[in-house]
Amino acid sequence: MIESAFTLITDETVPYKNIALETLLLEKLPAHTAALYLWQNRRTVVIGRNQNAWQECRVADLEADGGFLARRLSGGGAVFHDLGNLNFTFILPIEDFDKDRQTSVILEAVRKAGVVARKSGRNDIEIDCGDDFPATPIFSREMPRFNTAHSLYTPIWTRRRAIFPRPKTNSRQRA
């Protein structure tokens, strides 16, 4: 049962610091405490814990553009963050985790901001422009804590440029 709750909003935009703070909150929050962590990253491709960065991202192009490559605690696909995103993480006792309830908090918030949104797919929220919030990475350690993280809207052309690898060439072809 949640006895106290708070929201933490950070101005930090370095992904390594934001992911470290997310991890700290996950591991150190007192029992029966819930947190909503709001944060942004500068030009970052975030990959899941089991992904190969060079298969998911144009690493050299990202670094040449001053971007970051970061790995999150949970699994899941590669996502692009920039200052056009608002990332949010729910951290709460595992017995209080309810994916539908956490999704409804976000749906209500974006609706109040005038955005038409709905739940779609397994873990996605779709907005009327046809784009969607990436699927919800969910992470739980062998501890009574639960973490869900979402990322709100980045123009899809920016994500595609950074994330999708170059087409594979036939190894028999010569340059």
User: Cα separation of 127 and 18, whole Å?
Assistant: 26
User: Cα separation of 86 and 52, whole Å?
Assistant: 25
User: Cα separation of 149 and 34, whole Å?
Assistant: 14
User: Cα separation of 81 and 90, whole Å?
Assistant: 18
> What residues does each domain of the chain span?
4-163
Least confident of 4-8, 62-66, 74-78, 167-171: 167-171
Q: Are strands 33-39 and 68-71 parallel, antiparallel or unpaired?
A: unpaired
User: Cα separation of 46 and 70, whole Å?
Assistant: 5
At residue 81's C-alpha, the angle toward residues 76 and 86, to 5°, is 100
Least confident of 44-58, 86-100, 135-149: 135-149
Helix (H, G, I), strand (E, B) or coil at 18: helix
- Where is mean pLDDT largest: 91-95, 121-125, 156-160? 91-95
Residue pLDDT, tens place only, 54-82: 888 889 889 998 999 999 887 777 888 88
CA of residue 1 relative to chain centroid, distance = 26
Architecture of domain 4-163: 2-Layer Sandwich (3.30)
Percent of the chain clearing pLDDT 70 (strictly above): 70
The residue that leads in pLDDT, 172 or 46, is 46
